[in-house]
C-alpha cells in the first residue's frame, strides 16, 4: 500500500514549441528531483518534436490569483475602453495609422 507522503512531488511543465515563441503550460507530472522532471517532461510532452525548450516548476511554488476573486480582480479593466486603439475614430484619410 502506498503512502501519500512518499509520492513524488508534482511539477508543472512549460514547453517552447520553437525559437521565438513563448513557453506555454502544457501539463504536469510527478518527479523526484528537477533533473528527472526535465527528462520526464521531454518524454511525456515532446515525443513528436513538440518542443525546443522545456521549463519545469514545482507546482507548490506557483502563486496564482484566486478564482473566487476573478470578477473583483479583473473587472476594473472592463470600463477602460480607451486603452484600445479602436476607441479612437479618426478621419478616413488617416485611419490606417
Partner 1 sequence: MYTQAMDTMAREGAGKLERVLSADEQVLQERFDARIDAGDFIEAKDWMPDNYRKTLLRQISQHAHSEIVGMLPEGNWIGRAPTLKRKAILLAKVQDEGGHGLYLYAAAETLGTSRDQMVDALHSGKAKYSSIFNYPTLTWADIGTIGWLVDGAAIMNQVPICRCSYAPYARAMIRICREESFHQRQGYDSLLVMMQGGTDAQRAMVQDAVNRWWWPCLMMFGPPDDQSPNSAQGMRWGIKRVSNDTLRQKFVDATVQQAQVLGVTLPDPDLKWNAEREHWDFGTIDWDEFWRVVGGEGPCNRERLEKRVKAWDDGEWVREAAMAHANKQAMKEAA
Of 64 and 97, the one with the shorter C-beta distance to partner 1 is: 64
Retrieve residue 63's grid coordinates: 502563486
Output the smallest distance, CB 49 to partner 1, in A.
13
Q: How far is the CB of 19 from partner 1 (least distance, A)?
A: 22
Place of cell 511543465: 13
Residue placing its CB nearer to partner 1 in the complex, 69 or 78: 69
Nearest distance, CB of residue 20 and partner 1, angstroms: 22
CA distance 9 to 60: 9
Considering the complex, state which of residue 1 and residue 81 has its C-beta at the smaller distance from partner 1: 1
Contact 11/37 with Cβ under 8 angstroms? yes
- All three cell numbers of 55: 521549463
Binding site for partner 1 (CB under 8 A): 1-4, 6-8, 10, 26-30, 32-33, 36, 43-44, 47-48, 64, 67
- Closest by CA to 55, choosing from 8, 12, 9, is 12
Amino acid at each position: 500500500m502506498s503512502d501519500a507522503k512518499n509520492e513524488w512531488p508534482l511539477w508543472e511543465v512549460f514547453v517552447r514549441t520553437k525559437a521565438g515563441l513563448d513557453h506555454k503550460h502544457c501539463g504536469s507530472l510527478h518527479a523526484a528531483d528537477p533533473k528527472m522532471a526535465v527528462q520526464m517532461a521531454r518524454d511525456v510532452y515532446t515525443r513528436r518534436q513538440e518542443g525546443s525548450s522545456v521549463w519545469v516548476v514545482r507546482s507548490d511554488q506557483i502563486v496564482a490569483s484566486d478564482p473566487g476573486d476573478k470578477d473583483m480582480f479583473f473587472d476594473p479593466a472592463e470600463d477602460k475602453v480607451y486603452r484600445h486603439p479602436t476607441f479612437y475614430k479618426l478621419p478616413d484619410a488617416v485611419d490606417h495609422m
